[in-house]
Structure 1
């Protein structure tokens, strides 16, 4: 990515994997467009990276749960004359609780942020990449997209699976034009994700060998998209989990996931 002269647009850049992408790309001299809802965090991150690496960093706050946000984000990028050659669709979160325990608007916002918004950003930014004959798209998916759905986060696995399939299709369609698309699929990663979902205490009991740090995930993702990988699962353990579940009969894999869900989320459905 160090040869690229355009900007990297990172959504959900205020924390976690998004912030790790910003730090890694800034260290490589890549100018950045950082977007998220939390403006104060974006400004703090941008200022520290400017001082450390002396690169241009633009901030465009956006709440991707708003239906017009992807369009307005791209229009502001164009208004500022910022050519984007790397799109990192990272914005995301988890909705805890069973499907009916949350109002429909909460579920609709989740679909908008994790599925509709990244798809629209790809659609709006891909034409210029294709015209230049060079571009990179990383859709941050998850190991969850490769395994059966679980109780307690009803839409999460489905949304991540969608990003994987979207990335594969875009890879086949526009890879020949010089635009590589990769679905990055980390497993358990040290970020604040589990603090937000209220599952930190439970997750801290898991063995350390299941976990990866965000910076390693990011570096592997950047290498994968440059190599032209349509899907990259981070870590040997995660690749082994995916392979084992794929070999199992669907009924058995689903039963195992159900058992694990009951261990993690003891609350009964509403």
Structure 2
């Protein structure tokens, strides 16, 4: 079955890929629930989309680093009578520096946002999707989840690899119930990500053909989940990188990762 006016919940919707998802799903006629920490940005985006598309946009600000946030968010959705048809698990960030260079509280918050929160949101919202016979879940992973983990940003690739495997299992478990699950795995994407992590100057050394816009990533991701793709890598260059890494011996692939880490990451303890 299909839903005439689907309701989409987008995490990390205040900028970048999350905001691009909000704009493109709104253009497709979706009602939206937007969540992130920056309330002012969410309200500005919500006002833009209400005016442009005459849709319902609900702003529910939450910090997903709070372990209680996923349950509280879903309780609010139930109280408002907002059944979620599309879940876009997009919230995320990077922690620059080596593993021991950061305190445990920093890593714990990261793991809560990147692993636990998206997993719990899927667990809480999947039963309703299955009962209604229709649903879409997009877990925004990364090309980093397909290649050897680099030094610096230690937990980032590991967390994205987890989202890829989770999405594959959920796709197999729920396809017959009318629910598609897709791990969207972009490579370098124009957004605030590298500004926040302080690596913009290093990232600017990359050639232009390595980059995609958030709009292109989202457009391809929506098409992929509708097709029923469990994993999708946008961009021919990114798909070629993934294929090349798979063909290389592990030792050589790890050596290449070590070399690139020194160029684009803070690998000092």
Residue 197 of structure 1: aligned partner: 197
Alignment of 1:40-59 (within 5 A): 40-59=40-59
8 Å contact from structure 1 (residues 7, 33) kept in 2: yes
Q: 2:182 aligns to what SS in structure 1?
A: strand
Query: Aligned equivalents of 2:85 and 2:209: distance in 1?
Result: 35
Alignment of 1:250-261 (within 5 A): 250-261=250-261
8 Å contact from structure 2 (residues 34, 60) kept in 1: yes
Query: Aligned equivalents of 2:79 and 2:35: distance in 1?
Result: 15
Alignment of 1:191-230 (within 5 A): 191-230=191-230
* Aligned Cα root-mean-square deviation (Å): 1.2
Give the superposition deviation at 1:3: 5.0
Query: Aligned equivalents of 2:243 and 2:222: distance in 1?
Result: 23
Residue 36 of structure 1: aligned partner: 36
Residue 110 of structure 1: aligned partner: 110
Query: Aligned equivalents of 1:10 and 1:193: distance in 2?
Result: 17
1:137 matched to 2:137? The reply is yes
8 Å contact from structure 1 (residues 4, 85) kept in 2: no
Residue 154 of structure 2: aligned partner: 154
Residue 243 of structure 1: aligned partner: 243
Give the superposition deviation at 1:207: 0.5
CA distance change for structure 1 residues 20 and 184 in 2, over 3 Å: closer, same or farther?
same
TM-score relative to the length of structure 2:
0.98
8 Å contact from structure 2 (residues 98, 266) kept in 1: no
Question: Which consecutive unaligned segments of at least 5 residues does structure 1 have?
Answer: none
Query: Aligned equivalents of 2:136 and 2:29: distance in 1?
Result: 16
Count residues in correspondence. 269
8 Å contact from structure 2 (residues 9, 32) kept in 1: yes
Residue 72 of structure 1: aligned partner: 72
Give the superposition deviation at 1:83: 1.1
CA distance change for structure 1 residues 188 and 115 in 2, over 3 Å: closer, same or farther?
same
Q: 1:84 aligns to what SS in structure 2?
A: coil
Give the superposition deviation at 1:263: 1.7
Q: 1:138 aligns to what SS in structure 2?
A: strand
Question: Which consecutive unaligned segments of at least 5 residues does structure 2 have?
Answer: none
